[in-house]
Amino acid sequence: MTAGLVRPVPPLAKPRATKLPSVGERVLDNGLRVLAVRRPGVPLAELRLRIPFAGPSGRKSRGHTAQAQLLSDTMLSGTTGRTAAQLAADVQALGGQLAASSDADRLGLAGSVLVSGLPGLLELLGEVLTGATYPKREVVGERDRLVQELAIYRSEASVVAREELLRRLYGEHPYGRELPTADEVEAVKASQLRALHASRVAPAGAVLTVVGDLTPARAIGLVERALAGWTASASALVAPPLPDTVRGPAVLIDRPGAVQTTLRLAGPAPGRTDPDSAAFALANLVFGGYFSSRWVANIREDKGYTYSPHSQVEHPAAGSRVTVAADVSTPTTAAALLETTYELGRIATTAVSQAELDQARRYAVGSLALGTSTQAGLASTLSSLAASGLGVEWLRDYPRQLAAVTVDDALEAGARYLAPHRLTTVLVGDVEQVEEPVGRLVELERG
Amino acid sequence: MVAVAVYYDVGMRSEPEGRTGFAHLFEHLMFQGSASLGKTEHFTYVQGNGGTLNGSTHVDYTNYYEVMPSSATELALFLEADRMRSVAVTQENLDNQIAVVQNEIRVNVLNRPYGGFPWLMVPPVLFDEFANSHNGYGDFVDLESSTVEDAREFFARYYAPGNAVLTVAGDIDPAEVLGWVEQHFGDIPARAVPDRPSFVEPMPTAERRATAYDALVPTPAVAMAWRTPDPADLPTYLPFVVLAEVLTDGDASRLQERMLLEDRSATSIGGYLGLLGDPLDARDPTPFLLEVHHPDSTSLDAVVSTVDEELARLAQDGLLPAELDRTVARMTARYLREVDSVLGRATTMSVFEQQRGRAELVNELPDLLRQVTAEQVQAAAATLTPDTRALLELRPGTPA
């Protein structure tokens, strides 16, 4: 381990030209929008179906969250033609997998399959969409299981912190409570799920993305054949506008004896179609959005306070948010918050260097290429873009937007979205050890 | 895109007593600089040119990889060669990374419900030899007493060029890549490759049981572990890989259908081979693991006897018609999905080459899966008997 000769770092070769995927698109007679891309490589196909599924605001939103969660948990628990186990065996026999999930904006069905099994998987998908039966026994069983799983989930400090953060950011808006309580889950009946399915699981407004080793025309033809019989109609709700965030004191939730404090700061961020989007993405990367960022260099690689700090952006339909997250050792909590506030303050008040900006820009462009380099990655990306009203052109246009961002733009975006006073702070940790030192830095209340 | 991966044939099992966690700590040190690269420069050269990177420590190997635009292939090779030739460890960086690793263990184990279950908790029950049974994440005392000299010796001994496999996969011209490999790696002096000891120990001859407590968990869980045949012998080993899927993959699998859909006696069930969940990345000895999370209202005995009953039924009656075909169909699709990415191809080839001398297995695995017979899976099930297993019960709370 003696230092050897310093050698010159080789230059990059000329980048290969990339081609935008060619997307076939058709809106079926039933209103379902289908996007399809041929991506050879492995003989598989990927499916992503998104159905708008936002709930109502206010008190009614609580029941909806529980029902939507259980609906996705039991959607594959039986159809008019098959039991849960039969359906699972038939999906498996195609070399396939199929799973349902829900969040505050949408119900999602995601699948992948040997391409030879795609017609079969689409047929089974059609059977689920038009004939899921929500058998009482399965609903009761999954209800009990969900209660257990929520308890397990909520035993994690990161989940406790996230729930508090969302409550503080969004209040009574549906985004303020993304997980149901045990009571809300226990109140759900099979008949409610059938009614919810009948009123909301409809093709109009839904988007199905298919990426795989087959032509778009063939993929769309298969979808049309299998899903033409899905004719339910529904009025799609979208999430209501977000309330103005009222930023209160930092919140400290006690986790007695915790060896780490779960530190989170969050606030609004620009959406994908916002003119600030590219500049913000780069400011966030330079601050703490990737390993080669200032914040990681500071609190991990210099001071060793934490293992995996990261600043991440999410894009729910009604408004994006940025979350700054680090789990820091208990004795370093106040010092870690101090450095975090310092780095946020720095990105919001002083210009980044051109080199930092260029490096973040290349990373952002590279990540996009990497994220769309597999069938599964491309399918998920296109599906998620469609939810923001964006098409495949975004994969070409966004790098151009990134290329145009200047140092001044990044400073402006940092000032607008990452200034520490704009963010809501939550800490989950051992009150006895961290309350007093953290209280020297910020106004603190117990959560 | 291109993936560049370097696999060193050293993992947690090679750590000496008093140095638990050292293989992993050393992995962190490989990112702290080398003759031509200052601290954090490895990251900035990769990420700042549009790539991603990581390293990970396993029981039998430690790997490092970059995934980059293919125009950066030579750069990635240079970065790997520079640290293979001349990693630079300072006291300051060592102290810093000890703190980082301790925080990694806090976030993944100490402050996390079910942290280290079962991968850190099962080995001391199933195995007797230190190499196999110790905590590979590391004891804090051991980590804190690690020295720069330890790192120097570990690097000299295990990070010899002849102890590594380099894999490049992606949008590349192989001849051009081999030229760069020669240019950047060719003059790293050869040194002795350490003998790889066998870590094999006798099979358990009686059931072993242990109870662990976790104050953070709301509900109990149990892990059952058996030894498998030597993974080097794929035709004998793969039926156990298929068996894990038959038992636990999806609503139509034996244990999920019985315990999640029928009895409702469990909340989740997992089954896999290898401590870290990859059946093809470890040498002998390696475990077959079943992991069941269950409500307090189901007793441990009820969970265990149901699992035993289903295993006995499979051993007695064999598979149903079509059960093997559908299981292998999904396993094949999942495998293809994994190797759709350049990184999946590079990592899969690396382990096959390092542990079996045949990167070609990346293309042959689907055929080998197809050759597994129902009788082999049935025979594999018959070996999972109570008298050869380790059973670890995880209970909420603290020991009385």
Both B260 and B327 in a single domain?
A: yes
For chain A, the structural domain boundaries read 23-227, 250-446
Task: Count CB-CB contacts under 10 A for residue A264.
Answer: 21
CA dihedral A314, A320, A322, A327 (to 10 degrees): -50
The answer to whether residue A55 scores a pLDDT higher than 90 is: no
Query: Between the CA of residue B179 and those of A5, B10, B174, B372, what are the distances in Å?
Result: 21, 27, 9, 40
pLDDT tier at A260, thresholds 50, 70, 90: very high
User: Nearest by CB to B78, which of A6, A9, A44?
Assistant: A9
Q: Which residue has the tokens 């989930």?
A: A153
CB contacts under 8 A, A 112-151 vs B, are 112-114, 117, 138, 141, 144-145, 148-149, 151
Contacts by B365-369 with C-beta closer than 8 Å and gap 24+?
B365/B335, B366/B332, B366/B335, B366/B336, B368/B234, B368/B235, B368/B238, B369/B238, B369/B242, B369/B328, B369/B331, B369/B332, B369/B335
DSSP code, position B195: P
B106–A329 CB contact, under 8 Å = yes
Partner residues linked to A33 by β-bridges? A27, A207
Same fold, A23-227 and A250-446: yes
A93–B267 CB contact, under 8 Å = no
Residues of B in contact with A304 (CB under 8 A): 95-100, 103
**Distance between CA A99 and CA A208 in Å, rounded?**
14
The CATH number covering residue B124 comes to 3.30.830.10
Predicted pLDDT at B126 = 98
Nearest CA in chain B to A158: B112
Tell me which residue range forms the domain holding B297: 208-396
Predicted pLDDT at A2 = 47
B85–A329 CB contact, under 8 Å = no
Q: Smallest CA–CA separation between B206 and chain A, in Å? A: 33
Predicted pLDDT at A56 = 81
Q: Which residues contact B178 (CB under 8 A, 6 or more apart)?
A: none
Report pLDDT digits (tens) over A172-211: 899 999 999 999 999 999 999 999 999 999 999 999 999 9
A95–B332 CB contact, under 8 Å = yes
CB contacts under 8 A, A 22-61 vs B, are 41-44
User: Nearest by CB to B340, which of A92, A114, A375?
Assistant: A375
The answer to whether residue A4 scores a pLDDT higher than 80 is: no
Both B256 and B132 in a single domain?
A: no
Residues of A in contact with B341 (CB under 8 A): 373-374, 377
Kindly state the tokens that stand for A416.
Answer: 């607008």
Predicted pLDDT at B186 = 97
Q: Smallest CA–CA separation between A183 and chain B, in Å? A: 17
Q: Smallest CA–CA separation between B202 and chain A, in Å? A: 37
pLDDT mean across residues, chain A: 96
Give the number of C-alpha atoms closer than 13 A to the C-alpha of residue A385, restricted to the C-beta side.
Answer: 21
Partner residues linked to B67 by β-bridges? B3, B52
A373–B342 CB contact, under 8 Å = yes
Higher pLDDT, B219 or A1: B219
Both B70 and B121 in a single domain?
A: yes
The answer to whether residue A58 scores a pLDDT higher than 90 is: no
Q: Smallest CA–CA separation between A165 and chain B, in Å? A: 19
Predicted pLDDT at A237 = 81
Structure pTM? 0.97
pLDDT in tens, chain B (400 residues): 999 999 999 999 999 999 999 999 999 999 999 999 999 999 999 999 999 999 999 999 999 999 999 999 999 999 999 999 999 999 999 999 999 999 999 999 999 999 999 999 999 999 999 999 999 999 999 999 999 999 999 999 999 999 999 999 999 999 999 999 999 999 999 999 999 999 999 999 999 999 999 999 999 999 999 999 999 999 999 999 999 999 999 999 999 999 999 999 999 999 999 999 999 999 999 999 999 999 999 999 999 999 999 999 999 999 999 999 999 999 999 999 999 999 999 999 999 999 999 999 999 999 999 999 999 999 999 999 999 999 999 999 999 8
Kindly state the tokens that stand for A365.
Answer: 């462009």
Both B170 and B252 in a single domain?
A: no
What is the side-by-side strand order in the sheet with A33-38?
A23-27, A33-38, A207-212, A44-52, A106-114, A96-102
Residues of B in contact with A111 (CB under 8 A): none
Is there a domain that residue B102 lies in?
A: yes
Q: Smallest CA–CA separation between B258 and chain A, in Å? A: 10
Both B240 and B370 in a single domain?
A: yes
Q: Is B93 helix (H, G, I), strand (E, B) or coil?
A: helix
Q: Smallest CA–CA separation between B264 and chain A, in Å? A: 7
CA Rg value for chain A: 24
Nearest CA in chain A to B336: A42
Both B110 and B141 in a single domain?
A: yes
The answer to whether residue A268 scores a pLDDT higher than 90 is: yes
The answer to whether residue A236 scores a pLDDT higher than 80 is: no
Both B177 and B40 in a single domain?
A: yes
Mutate to test the interface with A, among B103, B155, B324 (most CBs of A within 10 A): B103
Residues of B in contact with A157 (CB under 8 A): 111-112
Residues of B in contact with A259 (CB under 8 A): 106, 110-111
Is there a domain that residue B200 lies in?
A: no
Both B151 and B264 in a single domain?
A: no
User: Nearest by CB to A362, which of B49, B156, B322?
Assistant: B49
User: Nearest by CB to A258, which of B51, B111, B332?
Assistant: B111
Q: Where are the alpha helices (DSSP H) in chain B?
A: 22-29, 41-47, 73-86, 91-105, 123-126, 130-133, 140-144, 148-158, 174-185, 234-248, 254-255, 300-317, 323-338, 342-356, 361-370, 374-382
- Rounded to an integer, the average pLDDT of A247-257 is 96
Query: Between the CA of residue A411 and those of A272, A344, B74, what are the distances in Å?
Result: 19, 11, 34
Number of domains in chain B: 2
Predicted pLDDT at B76 = 98
User: Nearest by CB to A260, which of B44, B73, B106?
Assistant: B106
Ramachandran sector of residue B33 (left: φ over 0; alpha: ψ -120 to 50; beta: rest): left
User: Nearest by CB to A1, which of B74, B89, B341?
Assistant: B89
Both B389 and B293 in a single domain?
A: yes
Residues of B in contact with A44 (CB under 8 A): 333, 336-337, 340
**Distance between CA B318 and CA B36 in Å, rounded?**
60
Is there a domain that residue B195 lies in?
A: no
Q: Smallest CA–CA separation between B134 and chain A, in Å? A: 23
H/E run at residue A163: helix A157-170
In CATH, the architecture of A23-227 is 2-Layer Sandwich (3.30)
Kindly state the tokens that stand for A312.
Answer: 């991440």
Kindly state the tokens that stand for A207.
Answer: 């988007």
User: Nearest by CB to B71, which of A13, A290, A297?
Assistant: A13
Q: Which residue type, as a one-letter code, is found at position A338?
A: L
Task: Count CB-CB contacts under 10 A for residue A38.
Answer: 20
Helix axes A333-349, A431-439, angle to 10 degrees: 40
Predicted pLDDT at A62 = 78
Q: Smallest CA–CA separation between B85 and chain A, in Å? A: 8
Q: Is A315 helix (H, G, I), strand (E, B) or coil?
A: coil
Q: Smallest CA–CA separation between B315 and chain A, in Å? A: 21
Q: Which residues contact B126 (CB under 8 A, 6 or more apart)?
A: B132, B133, B204, B208, B225, B227, B287, B390
Is there a domain that residue B38 lies in?
A: yes
Nearest CA in chain B to A3: B35
Q: Where are the alpha helices (DSSP H) in A106-135?
A: 118-131
Q: Smallest CA–CA separation between B135 and chain A, in Å? A: 19
User: Nearest by CB to B1, which of A117, A329, A369?
Assistant: A369
The answer to whether residue A16 scores a pLDDT higher than 70 is: yes
Higher pLDDT, B198 or A1: B198
Correct CATH for A250-446 of 3.30.830.10, 1.10.540.10, 3.40.50.1820, 3.40.250.10: 3.30.830.10
Kindly state the tokens that stand for B294.
Answer: 């269950």
**Distance between CA B356 and CA A42 in Å, rounded?**
24
Predicted pLDDT at A61 = 76
Mutate to test the interface with B, among A77, A290, A307 (most CBs of B within 10 A): A307
B75–A12 CB contact, under 8 Å = yes
CB distance from A375 to chain B under 8 Å? yes
Residues of B in contact with A42 (CB under 8 A): 336-337, 339-340
Q: Is A426 helix (H, G, I), strand (E, B) or coil?
A: strand
SS3 helix, strand, coil % of chain B, rounded to 5? 45, 15, 35
**Distance between CA A348 and CA A344 in Å, rounded?**
6
